[in-house]
Amino acid sequence: MEVILKEDVNKLGHRGDVVKVADGYGRNFLLPGKLAIEANAANKAVIEQMKSSAVRKSAKEKTAAEELATQLSAVELVFERKVGENEHLFGSVTSGDIAHQLEAKGFTIDRRKISLEEPLKTIGEYHVPVKLHREVTSHVKVTVKGDQPEAEAAAVTA
């Protein structure tokens, strides 16, 4: 089945592309989710309009993402977590935690745009990539600290 993508779909294509997909994927996921329309003669005439509007929309999104990227590069997030032996954390810092703290600082960013391979489980300083647009990626400085009062108390009693 051939479909015309109305939105960017990961690992499939970008807005306005005509792609060939399995029938079930198209009928059960792309079409009901309004991510694509069926590629027939009538819809193919609409492609050109969609592509030109998609280029304009993408350009606007890219400039907005670039502005946000410059603002995000100056942001530093600090997380305090309980620490066990060898500076391993009880729990971890996830992309959801980072998104929540960014929201508290006035940046509304979806946690799925934060490219964290796996949750942060050790103390340290990290530069976490945030994919704001398909061509724009910013980095947020994340510092994970241990909770000092308990660590000092444990050192004093030992």
Residue with tokens 């300083």: 125
Quick one: pLDDT at residue 21?
93
Non-local (6+) Cβ contacts of 29 within 8 A are 35
Domain ranges of the chain: 2-62, 75-157
Can you read off the two tokens belonging to residue 90?
Answer: 């009880």
- The model's pLDDT over 15-69, given as tens digits with 9 standing for 90+, comes to 778 899 999 999 999 999 888 988 887 787 777 777 777 778 888 888 888 888 8
Q: Higher pLDDT residue, 86 or 13?
A: 13
Tell me the H-state helices in the chain. Answer: 23-25, 41-73, 95-104, 148-157
Topology, domain 75-157: Ribosomal Protein L9; domain 2 (3.10.430)
| Biggest distance spanned by C-alpha atoms of the chain | 79
Residue type, 105: K
Q: Are 132 and 62 in contact (CB under 8 A)?
A: no
Of the listed ranges 61-65, 131-135, 149-153, the least confidently predicted one is: 149-153
Just give the CATH number of 2-62. Answer: 3.40.5.10
